[in-house]
Amino acid sequence: MTRNKVLYENFKDNDEFSDRLIFLLIHLSFFFKAFKSEDNNNMLQEIYDFVFRQLELSIREIGYGDQSINKKMKDYLNLFHSLLDKIHFWDDYTLKKKTKIFDDMIEKSSNNHQLVNYFDNFCLKLSKYNLNSYLKSVCNQ
Print the domain residue range for 64: 14-135
Residue 120: pLDDT above 70?
yes
Residue 69, in any domain of the structure: yes
Q: How many CB atoms lie within 10 A of CB 27?
A: 18
87 assigned to some structural domain: yes
Model confidence at 45, pLDDT cuts 50, 70, 90, reads very high
20 assigned to some structural domain: yes
3 in a structural domain: no
Q: Rg of the Cα trace of the chain?
A: 15
**Phi, psi for 115 (deg, rounded to 5):** -65, -40
* Number of structural domains in the chain: 1
- Binned at pLDDT 50, 70 and 90, residue 108 comes out as low
DSSP 8-state assignment for residue 13: S
Long-range pairs of 101-110 with CB within 8 A, sequence gap ≥ 24: 105/22, 105/26, 105/79, 106/19, 106/22, 108/11, 108/12, 108/13, 108/15, 108/19, 109/10, 109/11, 109/12, 110/10, 110/11, 110/12
Angle at 73 between CA 71 and CA 78, to 5 degrees: 95
Residue 8 lies in a domain: no
Helix, strand, coil share of the chain (percent; to 5): 75, 0, 25
Q: Which of the pair, 5 or 68, is modelled with greater confidence?
A: 68
Q: Give yes or no for a contact between 29 and 77, defined as CB atoms under 8 angstroms apart.
A: no
Decide if 7 is inside a domain: no
Query: What DSSP line would sit under 45-110, residue for residue?
Result: HHHHHHHHHHHHHHHHHHT--HHHHHHHHHHHHHHHHHHHHHHTTGGGS-HHHHHHHHHHH-TTBS
Q: What is the pLDDT of residues 10-26, one digit of tens each?
A: 665 555 677 788 888 99
Residue 98 included in any domain: yes
Q: Is residue 65 part of a domain?
A: yes
Q: What is the pLDDT of residue 38?
A: 87
